[in-house]
């Protein structure tokens, strides 16, 4: 059985921004506000779980 953490796909801010059709700064603001959970890499870059981004996208579409 595959480890859940190994199956996680991490996305860059620019990828998430394209997914939502927003600027990268918006994604950063979401992370700072806790709307979208992020992890910092050793180099200080934010990464986002694809599953979290897809869940947020589905929530936003349901509201719209």
For residue 56, give every residue at least 6 positions away whose Cβ sits within 8 Å of its Cβ, in sequence order, or none.
30, 35, 36
Give the per-residue pLDDT at 64.
77
pTM exceeding 0.85: no
Range of the domain at 49: 4-63
Number of domains in the chain: 1
37 secondary structure, DSSP code? -
Give the pLDDT band of residue 20 (cuts 50, 70, 90): very high
Q: What is the pLDDT of residues 21-64, one digit of tens each?
A: 999 999 999 999 999 999 999 999 999 999 999 999 999 999 97
* CATH assignment at residue 12: 1.10.1660.10
Determine contact, residues 39/9, Cβ cutoff 8 Å.
Answer: no
């Amino acid at each position: 059985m595959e480890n859940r953490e190994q199956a996680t796909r991490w996305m860059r801010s620019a990828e998430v921004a394209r997914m939502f059709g927003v600027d990268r700064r918006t994604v950063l603001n979401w992370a700072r506000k806790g709307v979208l959970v992020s992890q910092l890499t050793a180099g200080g870059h934010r990464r986002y779980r694809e599953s979290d981004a897809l869940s947020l996208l589905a929530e936003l579409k349901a509201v719209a």
